Amino acid sequence: MTVLVFTFVILLANGLKEILPFLVSGKVKFNVVTQAIGFLIPWVWVFALPMGMLTATLLTFGRFSADQELTAARAGGVSLLALVSPILLLSLFLCGVSALINMEIGPRCRVAYTTLFARIKAELTSILLPERQYIKEFPGYIFYVGKNDHKGDLHDILIFHLENGTNETWTMRAPRGTMEVDNAQKLLTLRLYDAKTIALDGREQQIGAADVVKIDVPLENAQGGRSERKIDDMTFTQLWAEMRDLEQRLNMPVSFKGMKPEQIQARKRAWERQRKDLTPVIFQIHRQVAFSFACFGFTLLGIPLGIRVHRRETNIGTAMALLLVAVYYSFILVGQALDTKPEYLPYLIVWAPNILFQSLGAWLLWRANRG
């Protein structure tokens, strides 16, 4: 149940805010939205599964201790380790499930979701240029459309052309126009009729008019578009192949004998650049594997903490779970911020929370078993 709750919360905070506008507008079928959510769920489980396991452990053993059931079990000759062994075995099984999701299913589903979302955006012209809004998603332009009949016909069109992102160079107004989307070329084509242009050139203003004006806007350059596969979206096997390919390019010679000083410095600079390209890939490999052990570390720490807190209240257990999750993922964020700095070994930082949680959890569990 806790996994489902965290899955819904993370979906609502990350994915659904992108998908729901399409469903509410009525321009996308429900089955397409369902497919997009289905692609997001495995990616969300990367985070929801360990969080749910930790919360469930804290709540269960907090209630177990508060109701004196642990004392009754000990009085009957059942040790704490005997009670928690099935749960620890379950957490190890979930580590295997997490590994499968982190290293294979999650990245593939994330890529599928990104591709589906990009296709939806490209196909829905009404989403690209909604009515009575200033659209700033296309670099170099600001668009305003008074009316969009969702069939490619536009009315009351206003276009601002920008230089360097801020300086306005000309403004165009047209009473009507049409819009076409070329998905193959990733191009948005606007044809404006009876357009009038005000060109701003210093203090002078030149007013021109044309019967038909054609404007081509690349869709792949729009903000939020994704045209390349990111390292974060690669599976473990893809990351491993990428690492091997980059390692083959590391051409630092064993000896610099016979080279001039400037050649040695140039070769060292090139080698350092290649190392910086390799480090993010190594970091992602370690991150995927380290994430897979989060369930075990959270469970091992959650059992003794739940016993020590011995509260019945759900909010106490949830607050503790969120705090521990924040501590765990803070290490991941630090490592990710340093993934282009190989001298800090960011791929080892992601293992720090596992070592910390498992060591502390084992020690607290040993003490609780003795008590």
Domain membership of residue 233 (yes or no) is no
- % of the chain at pLDDT higher than 70: 75
Q: Are residues 275 and 350 in the same domain?
A: yes
Q: How many Cα atoms sit within 13 Å of 329 on the Cβ side?
A: 11
Please answer whether residues 23 and 127 qualify as being in contact, where contact means their C-beta atoms are separated by less than 8 angstroms: no
Domain membership of residue 246 (yes or no) is no
Q: Are residues 97 and 148 in the same domain?
A: no
Q: Are residues 172 and 108 in the same domain?
A: no
User: Which amino acid type is present at position 129?
Assistant: L
CA distance 214 to 242: 42
Which among 284, 231, 273 is positioned nearest to 250, based on CA atoms? 273
With a cut of 60, say whether residue 149 has pLDDT above it.
yes
Q: Are residues 105 and 157 in the same domain?
A: no
- Residue ending a domain, among 218, 235, 252, is 218
Q: Are residues 6 and 114 in the same domain?
A: yes
Q: Are residues 106 and 214 in the same domain?
A: no
Structure confidence by residue, pLDDT tens digits, 231-271: 778 888 888 888 887 777 665 444 556 666 666 666 666 65
Domain membership of residue 259 (yes or no) is no
Domain membership of residue 34 (yes or no) is yes
Q: Are residues 174 and 87 in the same domain?
A: no
Residue in the structure block whose two tokens are 């969120």:
322
Single pTM value for the model: 0.63
More confident residue, 150 or 322: 322
Q: Are residues 63 and 31 in the same domain?
A: yes
Range of the domain at 204: 138-218
More confident residue, 298 or 116: 298
- Residue ending a domain, among 155, 188, 218, is 218
Buried b (16+ CB within 10 A) or exposed e, 116-142: bbbebbbebbbbbbbeeeeeebbeebb
Q: Are residues 283 and 347 in the same domain?
A: yes
Domain membership of residue 247 (yes or no) is no
Q: Are residues 100 and 7 in the same domain?
A: yes
How confident is the model at residue 58, as a pLDDT?
Answer: 84
CA distance 128 to 133: 11
How confident is the model at residue 254, as a pLDDT?
Answer: 47
Pairing assessment for the beta strands 153-163 and 187-201 based on DSSP bridges: unpaired
Residue 306 contacts by C-beta under 8 Å, 6 or more apart in sequence? 57, 58, 59, 60, 61, 62, 64, 65, 317
**What DSSP element (H or E) covers 145?**
strand 141-148
Structure confidence by residue, pLDDT tens digits, 118-146: 777 656 554 567 788 888 877 788 888 98
Please give the sequence-ordered ranges of beta strands (E in DSSP) within 153-274, or none if there are none. 153-163, 167-182, 187-201, 204-218
CB atoms within 10 A of CB 18: 15
Domain membership of residue 98 (yes or no) is yes
Q: What is the DSSP letter of 138?
A: S
Domain membership of residue 214 (yes or no) is yes
Q: Are residues 117 and 161 in the same domain?
A: no
Domain membership of residue 131 (yes or no) is no
- Residue ending a domain, among 218, 252, 281, is 218
Number of domains within the chain = 2
More confident residue, 230 or 18: 230
Structure confidence by residue, pLDDT tens digits, 183-228: 666 778 888 998 888 876 644 455 667 778 888 887 665 544 444 4
How confident is the model at residue 354, as a pLDDT?
Answer: 92
Please answer whether residues 15 and 7 qualify as being in contact, where contact means their C-beta atoms are separated by less than 8 angstroms: no
> What are 154's strand-pairing partners?
148, 177
